[in-house]
Copies of this chain bind each other. A is one copy, B any other.
């Protein structure tokens, strides 16, 4: 089993898309995360759902949990409204992490090790710079668990 056998079509978001539309895509399609592509449709990052949410959380709440605690319930319910048209590019984390990207010939074990290291439940599958789709943790587990029964 190779990445190509597990690859499924996967929606992408662009750097210029709003964070709000990215969050809606994640929620509306029940995705485990999102692939962000540049103007040439090449993946520039792959975000687990928690890091899509992170783009929508005010910075001061990330840095200091005590500050999130003093926001009252009504304001805390609608923090997404503060986002306005803020884009994915403006909200991505600046730290560089290992990119969860595999080649079509990578094995189940290489995909699993990459998901584990990058803490990301999906990997983008790229061949010669072209995005072919993604392998999700759910699909990978289904296949490798099938061999243990």
Q: Which residues of A contact B (CB under 8 A)?
A: 1-2, 20, 23-24, 26-27, 30, 32, 48-51, 53-54, 56-58, 61-62, 65, 68-69, 71-73, 75-81, 107-110, 112-121, 137-138, 140-142, 144-145, 147-148
Q: Decide: B144 and A80 in contact? CB cutoff 8 A.
A: yes
A148 to chain B, nearest CB (A): 5
Known: A57-B113, A147-B77. A119 touches B51 (CB 8 A): yes
The residue that A141 contacts in the complex, of B27, B71, B144, with Cβ under 8 A, is B27
Per the bound structure, the CA–CA distance linking A149 and B68 in Å amounts to: 24
Q: Decide: A113 and B50 in contact? CB cutoff 8 A.
A: no
| A–B complex contacts, Cβ < 8 Å, 10 sampled | A1-B73, A23-B145, A57-B112, A61-B112, A69-B110, A71-B107, A76-B107, A78-B144, A78-B147, A81-B148
Chain B residue numbers with a CB within 8 Å of A142 are: 27
Per the bound structure, the CA–CA distance linking A56 and B108 in Å amounts to: 12
The residue that A108 contacts in the complex, of B20, B26, B79, B140, with Cβ under 8 A, is B79
Known: A61-B109, A145-B80. A118 touches B73 (CB 8 A): no
Chain B residue numbers with a CB within 8 Å of A120 are: 50
Question: Which 6 A-B pairs rank lowest in CB-CB distance, beginning with the nearest?
Answer: A54-B116, A76-B107, A76-B109, A27-B141, A61-B113, A68-B110
Q: Decide: B20 and A110 in contact? CB cutoff 8 A.
A: no
